[in-house]
Amino acid sequence: MFDPDRSLLNPKFEGYKLDALDQDKAVSRFPVDYHASQTNASGRSPLSFQEVQSRIRHNHLTISPNGKAVYIDAEFRVISVDTDEATFAPTFNVLYELPRQIQTDSSDSLHREYPSSAFIDSNHLLVADGHGNLYVLYLSDEGQGQAHQLI
């Protein structure tokens, strides 16, 4: 049923050697107009293992049911990512700008979380700013978002 090709066998493992993929043909790279947020841990209190694990696994990009992608950049703007179907080139648009939180030395004792988002449906997006505030964003066809703060 399956006859192995002896010239392709790796003597150290029971498997085939694979040819390396040409990355220029397999992967397309595009510059990002709005850079994603990165939180810095202050040296005042160390992060727990669970907090480090959460930050490592955090996915900045959220995909809607109809294939639209959004993320929150370092300036607390909700950015949509649309791709051209022919060239796969992305276009970036600002949907909404979240209010910035003012931090003082006393409020800096808690670690800030990454801003995050989740689609409820194709037109509604939940956005958390990383400071304990939650917004519901209605995405209109014109490309702008209207927000309502929940918490």
- Give the model confidence (pLDDT) of 37-51 as tens digits: 766 555 566 778 887
- By the 8 A CB rule, do 24 and 83 touch? no
Tally: H helices and E strands in the chain: 2, 8
Is residue 19 a part of any domain in this protein? no
- Judged against a pLDDT cut of 90, whether residue 33 lies above it is answered with no
Q: Please check whether residue 6 lies inside any domain of the structure.
A: no
Flag whether pLDDT at 58 surpasses 70: yes
User: Is pLDDT at 20 greater than 70 in this prediction?
Assistant: yes
SS3 content of the chain, % helix, strand, coil (to 5): 15, 30, 60
Per the structure, the complete domain to which residue 80 belongs is given by 33-38+46-149
> CA 146, CA 151: separation in Å to the nearest integer?
16
User: Residue 27 pLDDT > 90, yes or no?
Assistant: no
- 126 within a domain of the structure (yes/no): yes
d(Cα 109, Cα 4) in Å, to the nearest integer? 61
Does residue 140 form part of some domain?
yes
Q: 27 in a domain, yes or no?
A: no
In a domain, 117, yes or no: yes
The predicted model scores a pTM of 0.69
pLDDT of residue 77: 92
Residue 11 lies in a domain: no
Residue (of 119, 117, 91) closest to 32 by Cα position: 91
Q: Structurally, how many domains does the chain consist of?
A: 1
145-149 β-sheet, strand order: 116-119, 124-128, 134-139, 145-149
In a domain? residue 28: no
Q: In the predicted model, is pLDDT for residue 59 greater than 70?
A: yes
